Amino acid sequence: MAEDLQIRQEITRDLLERLASPVRQVREDAVEALAVSTEDEDWRPNELIRQDGINILIGLLDDENIHIVGSTLDIIVAIAAAGEEEALITGGVIEQLDQLQNHKDPLMRKKAQEALWLLVPEVEDVVTSKPKDDY
């Protein structure tokens, strides 16, 4: 079990280092590998968050390559769906996602909206109840 944890830590560290590569193809391959890994039912974002992966992912949202941006958005959605919305919000992802709503590619706009919906549900979607006043 401890060996599995160490392997996950090393794989995550390697992928995060590759995400920061100046070589576009290295970044694209790494972000796609990470995005595919989120589809595993056992995937958890804990190690990615612990190793400051949120900041690295946020930086990728400005990439000119739409494959990199799209895969990054898939990872952000997976992190939010795994219950780690707070890590994304405190990392500053909302501002980047807001900017992506004006992206030239309609699929990027749609993915950004999906991520925003997970992080900041519309007010009308939130149900609140107010206690009745007894006079």
11-30 pLDDT, tens digit each: 999 999 999 999 999 999 99
Please give the pLDDT value at position 125.
44
The alpha carbon torsion through 22, 26, 30, 31 (nearest 10 deg) reads 60
Q: Please tell me the CATH superfamily of domain 2-121, with its number.
A: Leucine-rich Repeat Variant (1.25.10.10)
Please give the pLDDT value at position 72.
97
* pLDDT tens profile 35-84: 999 998 888 999 999 999 999 999 999 999 999 999 999 999 999 999 99
Q: Locate 73 and state its tokens.
A: 């958005």
Task: Answer for the pair 71, 108: CB distance below 8 angstroms, yes or no.
Answer: no
Q: Would the CA dihedral through 97, 103, 105, 109 be positive or negative?
A: positive
Name which of 21-30, 61-70, 99-108, 126-135 the model is least confident about: 126-135
Please give the pLDDT value at position 127.
46
Question: Where are the chain's structural domains?
Answer: 2-121
